[in-house]
Amino acid sequence: MSQNPPPSDRSRVRRIADRGRYDRETIHAIVDAAYLCHVAFADEHGVLCIPTACWREGDHLYIHGSNGSRMLKALTTQGACVTITHLDGLVLARSAFHHSMNYRSVVVHGCFEVVPAEHKAEAMNRFMDHIAIGRRHEARPGDANELAATTLLRIPLAEASAKIRTGGPKDDADDMQRELWAGVLPLAMVGGQPQSDGVERRAPDYVRHWAGSKVKAAQAETA
């Protein structure tokens, strides 16, 4: 279990507490490995949970969208809960009850704040770097109208917790004599073959080397 204490009572991992981690390095690594997060909030339609693109700068997680987004509008007036999960393997045990999954997850509690207009351009550059290092130096940057039509929000990672499961099945002693295979079926996100839009151009290195590469698959270390 993490030697760092949970930042708040609501962020404490209670179910199988020894899988909880609260150190900044572990939380940042799991966030950095993600392209998507899920944001839970409430509006006049009830409780919603919506996936959206995300990236990290320092101790904040960023999201963005249209000025007309009802989610972004709601998040400026209330607290939220953000989750990220990476599925690393399916755990096959000798009993149905002990089948499990290996994963790395982060839960963030807090309030989003609007990123000031003067910081939008640089924040979007960081987003481009998150998608593909070097891309921002080639693509046309957002113009004044595009930036004005975009809302950027960020939430501090101060109240965040990680939960990680690794390793094989945890079978009962009585089941160890059963003659069946047990172990882990690893899973990883892997880059596929790049697909051109049909306009012939020389592909940059980050495109040509994409196929077969493990995409942000660095594992967080366990205690």
- Rounded to whole angstroms, the Cα distance separating 13 from 34 reads 21
- Cα-Cα-Cα-Cα torsion 188, 192, 197, 201, nearest 10 degrees, comes to 110
Phi, psi of 4 (to 5 degrees): -80, 135
pLDDT tens for the 223 residues of the chain, in order: 457 899 999 999 999 999 999 999 999 999 999 999 999 999 888 999 999 999 999 999 999 999 999 999 999 999 999 999 999 999 999 999 999 999 999 999 999 999 999 999 999 999 999 999 999 999 999 999 999 999 999 999 999 999 999 999 999 999 999 999 999 999 999 999 999 999 989 999 999 989 888 765 544 343 3
**Domain CATH code at residue 53:** 2.30.110.10
- Are 100 and 204 in a shared domain? no
- Locate 41 and state its tokens: 């909030």
- Are 106 and 200 in a shared domain? no
Domain that holds residue 122: 17-170+181-186
Q: Is residue 7 part of a domain?
A: no
Q: Locate all alpha helices (DSSP H) within the chain, ordered by sequence.
A: 24-32, 70-75, 120-131, 144-148, 205-208
Rounded to two decimals, the pTM is: 0.91
Looking at the structure of the chain, the number of domains it has is 2
- Are 166 and 103 in a shared domain? yes
- Are 165 and 196 in a shared domain? no
